[in-house]
Homo-oligomer: A and B are copies of this chain.
């Protein structure tokens, strides 16, 4: 498995709008096992993104899906930056759901 844990910083005041775009259609990505968007309660513009995939290739392929590319294009002007990004190797637990 392949995972990512990152914190994205929205442009000022744009967190809700950015989060809504990130949450659209996240169930339609082949090989995605978990993709959870969370607000950071300590920083008003920060968004946590935690992802689990069946492998690194599935994550890379997802970035080429037309729906994902369209979402990225809409999200980009709302993103001020990333302040952390960690790759992980998910081992198991609860909530790893194979897309149907």
Contacts and interface: CB of A to CB of B under 8 A. Distances in A.
A36 B48 contact: no
B19 A36 contact: no
Contacts of A87: 41-42
Consensus secondary structure, chain A interface: strand
Interface residues of A, number: 36
Tallying the copies of this chain within the complex gives 2
Contacts of A35: 93-95
A73 interface: no
A94 B97 contact: yes
A89 to B, nearest CB: 4
B33 A95 contact: yes
Query: Which interface residue of A19, A27, A94 has the most chain B CB atoms within 10 A?
Result: A94
